Amino acid sequence: MSGFIIGPLVVLVIIGGGWPFRAMVLVFTLIALYEWVQISLKIKNNILYLVFGTAYVLLCFWYLYALREHFPVSTGLLFIAMIWASDIGAYFTGKKIGGPKLAPKISPNKTWAGFAGAMVFPAIIGVLLSLTLEIQAIGMIAVIGLAVGAVGQAGDLIVSVMKRRAAVKDSGSIIPGHGGLLDRVDSMMLAAPVFYFLWVAAHGA
């Protein structure tokens, strides 16, 4: 229920843009920073984690903000669709196919089959949406989808490493049934700057 309520609201705010979007990004950034700090404080010799985490969160959320502010709204929605497709693809192929584990010591449920699904699904949805939205450079869109899927999985693993070192299951409890904000946006964060620069390379600044 949380996902069905929050997801559409976030999309509507992204479409609307303006100060509600900026306020949402600011609030999400502060929550993500708080969660990262709380996790870091549970890890020994945590100074490096605190410094890296602060820079990481701020940088990633800046590019999430920039995707909406610097490009048409369709670009931001395409990115969101790719991330959701990646998560769905990873879950679906991981469950249906299974097989060797991707990183058993970090995230025991992740498989190489799931990783492949996480890459292929956003490439497919990117091409389909490009045809619908009449976006050019469809071949490059497919490449961007593959990259977003791969990097998104890396972002997921970064937060998983943090939680494992801190011996916590979730990054927080702000979203009922989903855990913390970082649990929901970990793949999106690292994928945002990659998508941004690949989009610039494909379409110009």
Q: Do residues 76 and 88 make contact, with C-beta atoms less than 8 angstroms apart?
A: no
What's the pLDDT band for 178 if we cut at 50, 70, 90? low
Nearest CA to 152 among 99, 97, 103, 82?
82
* Mean pLDDT score of the chain: 88
Top pLDDT among 55 and 133 is at: 55
8-24 pLDDT per residue, tens: 888 899 999 899 999 99
CB 187, CB 147: distance < 8 Å: no
> Do 50 and 162 touch, CB atoms closer than 8 A?
no
**Amino acid in position 125:** I
Q: Where are the domains of the chain?
A: 2-203
Confidence of residue 79 (pLDDT cuts 50, 70, 90): very high
Tell me the per-residue pLDDT of 34-61, one tens digit each, with 9 for 90 and over. Answer: 999 999 999 888 898 899 999 999 999 9
Of the candidates 96, 98, 90, 92, the residue with the CA atom closest to the CA atom of residue 187: 90
**Distance between CA atoms of residues 122 and 30, nearest Å:** 28
* Band (146; pLDDT cuts 50, 70, 90): very high
